C-alpha cells in the first residue's frame, strides 16, 4: 500500500479531512499530521513537518493545504528537493506530475475552484512523469536551489 503524507493549517481543516478520506478510499495509507481544529497555526510549520516526514522515506507524494494553498506551497518549495505544485484545475494537476514531476501538491481550503479539488487530486495521482525533455527541465529547475 502506497503512503501519502498530508498536512494542513487551520484554513483547510475540512478540505484536508475530505482529502484524507478520498485518499484512503483509493487505497493509500495516509499519515495526516494535522491540524484538526481551526485554532490558528503557522502554515510554514506544517509544511516543514510534512517535508521532514516525507524525507523519512516510503511516501509516494505529499499533500499540503492552507487557506489559499499559496503560503504552504511556497514554504514547501523553499526546502531542498521539493517540487510542490498549486494547480488551478484538472489539466494543471495532471501536468504538474507529467511535466514537472511534482512530489507535493497543494490546495486551498478557502478557494472556490472551477473543478473539484478531489478531481484535481485524482488527475495528479493517475498521471506519471513523462521523462524525456521534461527530465532535463526538472534537472535545471532543481539546479536553481540555493541560488
Q: Choose the catalytic residue: 65, 66, 84, 96.
A: 66
Structurally, the chain folds into a number of domains equal to 1
For residues 130 and 47, give the distance between their C-alpha atoms in angstroms, rounded to a whole number: 27
22 is catalytic: no
pTM: 0.96
Burial class (CB in 10 A: 0-12, 13-18, 19+), 104: buried
Burial class (CB in 10 A: 0-12, 13-18, 19+), 134: middle
Q: What is the CATH number of the domain that holds 113?
A: 3.40.1400.10
29 contacts 53 by C-beta, under 8 angstroms:
no
How confident is the model over 39-72, as pLDDT tens digits?
Answer: 999 999 999 999 999 999 999 999 999 999 999 9
pLDDT at position 130 is: 85
Kindly give, in sequence order, each residue whose CB lies less than 8 Å from that of residue 131, ignoring residues fewer than 6 positions away. none
Q: Choose the catalytic residue: 10, 32, 96, 99.
A: 99
* Domain region containing 42: 3-143
99 is catalytic: yes
DSSP 8-state symbol, 81: T
Amino acid at each position: 500500500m502506497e503512503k501519502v503524507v498530508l498536512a494542513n493549517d487551520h484554513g483547510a481543516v475540512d478540505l484536508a479531512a475530505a482529502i484524507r478520506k478520498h485518499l484512503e478510499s483509493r487505497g493509500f495509507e495516509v499519515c495526516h499530521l494535522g491540524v484538526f481544529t481551526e485554532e490558528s497555526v503557522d502554515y510554514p510549520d506544517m509544511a516543514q513537518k510534512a517535508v521532514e516526514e516525507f524525507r523519512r522515506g516510503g511516501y509516494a507524494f505529499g499533500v499540503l493545504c492552507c487557506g489559499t494553498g499559496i503560503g504552504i506551497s511556497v514554504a514547501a518549495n523553499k526546502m531542498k528537493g521539493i517540487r510542490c505544485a498549486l494547480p488551478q484545475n484538472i489539466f494543471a494537476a495532471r501536468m504538474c506530475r507529467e511535466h514537472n514531476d511534482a512530489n507535493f501538491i497543494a490546495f486551498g481550503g478557502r478557494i472556490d475552484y472551477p473543478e473539484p479539488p478531489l478531481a484535481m487530486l485524482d488527475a495528479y495521482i493517475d498521471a506519471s512523469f513523462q521523462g524525456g525533455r521534461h527530465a532535463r527541465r526538472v534537472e535545471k529547475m532543481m539546479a536553481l536551489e540555493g541560488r
